[in-house]
Amino acid sequence: MFTLIKTQKYSAIVFAISFLFLASFTLGQDEKEASATSPGHNQIVIKDFNFSPMVLTVKSGEKITWINRDEEPHTVVSVDKQFKKSTALDTDQEFTITAGAPGTYTYFCSVHPKMTGTIIVEKS
Amino acid sequence: MSDYISHDHEHDGIDRRGFLQCMAWAGTGLLWTISGGVLASKTLAEIAKAGSLPAATDLSFLQISDSHIGFSKEANKDVTETFKIALDRINAMPTPPSFLIHTGDITQLSKPEEFDTFDEVLKSCRTKDVFFVPGEHDVLNDGGKLYRERYLKSVEAKGSGWYSFNKNGVHFIGLVNVLNLQAGGLGQLGDEQLEWLENDVKGLGSSTPIVVFAHIPLWAVYPQWGWGTSDSERALGYLKRFGSVTALNGHIHQVLQKIEGNVTFHTAMSTAFPQPAPGTAASPGPMKVPAEKLRSMLGLANVQYIQGKSSLAIVDSNLS
């Protein structure tokens, strides 16, 4: 289990970007399956070489779990190395982190870099 | 056997024998040759009838790819067995190839025991010289450290594992395009490797045939699925002046060929499982086919070089 770390100086920019991502998430959410399995625990399903939901908004301190439903290994790697990367997840394997400081965190699969996702962490 | 139509019940110009011959043709390998810019093909059956492959072959080698040892899902529950069958085919060739090239994804998950199994099975191959490039599945958790320790012993590898060598006047270049991949991007060679490549070919005469091999295709097969290399254009730029360039890749588990100027791009079948044709499925994941069809979609590629010919001949053959 790892904690998101973010430097303070970018918080203003990230805060602004957060609103942009939040808007797109709201627009797109009816196409996606519900992500939260229980209050405070959020799941991102990896299926057909996609992170679903692609943009996930959570509260600081909540847990986020990725689960791989593909027959292909995938990874979860922070673009700016903001949190520790997962090892390669085989079918049905999971990876969990705890959301840290508020901000926008982009990540991708280092095996299939076309696969990208975003986590928006809000104040709890 | 004559080629006349004997029974034409449907009045469509095709009889049963003709149809079966046509289907047999579809299921076997093809030999592609280019002479004076004209593309021609022969089936493996025709080659078998005529004797062997072109008599005066100066160099013959085999490309094998995507063995994915450790994979055990429905698309192929025994990839070790199909890899063995591929090696049996190589061992049964009347003229053994000079060497093998494995274009990556040796294993499914980069596990030491998967590499062990691969190495153990490979011992049964009569052809002992094997040149490797890594697939993304071989460098999953350690950036390719284990891969490099095992598979680069016979070459003078640079950087993250690229190298070149010469055989019978042909210059071979093994490239790594599965490391340090960037979010949203494709396969990548990187500046250091590209600079090395530029220097590597600098002293070569333009008539030197070039074979460049890497795991992910060096042409934009289908970028939507990540089937391409972001900086391959720069690499191909350094090879532009050469009269014959053959790019051999794996990764996409199916035969695709494209000819652009003096460059022939070719991707090989996997020995493990097929993948869908570009854009024909929700994702490029393993494709499940009926058990009796599986081996017809797995295979290897035999590459022949004849001095004086403008390109290398590539024969794909399946395992059925």
Q: Does B279 touch chain A (CB under 8 A)?
A: no
Q: Which of B74, B110, B282 sits opposite A48 (nearest CB)?
A: B282
Q: Which of A79, A88, A112 sits opposite B226 (nearest CB)?
A: A112
CB pairs under 8 A between A and B: 58
Q: Which of B136, B186, B225 sits opposite A111 (nearest CB)?
A: B136
A87 to B184: CB separation less than 8 angstroms, yes or no = no
Q: What pLDDT was estimated at residue B290?
A: 96
Q: Are B315 and B89 in contact (CB under 8 A)?
A: no
**Tokens of residue A92, six digits:** 């049905």
Q: What pLDDT was estimated at residue A5?
A: 45
Instruction: Suggest the residue from A49, A72, A74 to mutate for an interface test with chain B (most B CBs closer than 10 A).
Output: A72
Distance from CA of B164 to the nearest CA of A (A): 25
Q: Looking at residues B55-63, what average pLDDT do you find?
A: 78
**pLDDT tens digits along B192-244:** 999 999 999 999 999 999 999 999 999 999 999 999 999 999 999 999 999 99
Q: What pLDDT was estimated at residue B311?
A: 80
Residue ranges of domains in chain B, CATH in brackets: 57-318 (3.60.21.10)
Q: Looking at residues B247-258, what average pLDDT do you find?
A: 96
Q: Does B207 touch chain A (CB under 8 A)?
A: no
Q: What pLDDT was estimated at residue A6?
A: 41
pTM of the model: 0.81
Residues of chain B contacting residue A72, judged by C-beta atoms under 8 Å apart:
285-286
Determine how β-strand A41-47 pairs with β-strand A63-68.
Answer: parallel
Residue ranges of domains in chain A, CATH in brackets: 8-122 (2.60.40.420)
Q: Is B127 exposed, middle or buried (0-12, 13-18, 19+ CB in 10 A)?
A: middle
Q: Per-residue confidence at B21, pLDDT binned at 50, 70, 90?
A: very low
Nearest CA in chain B to A87: B141
pLDDT averaged over chain A?
79
Helix (H) or strand (E) holding B305: strand B299-305
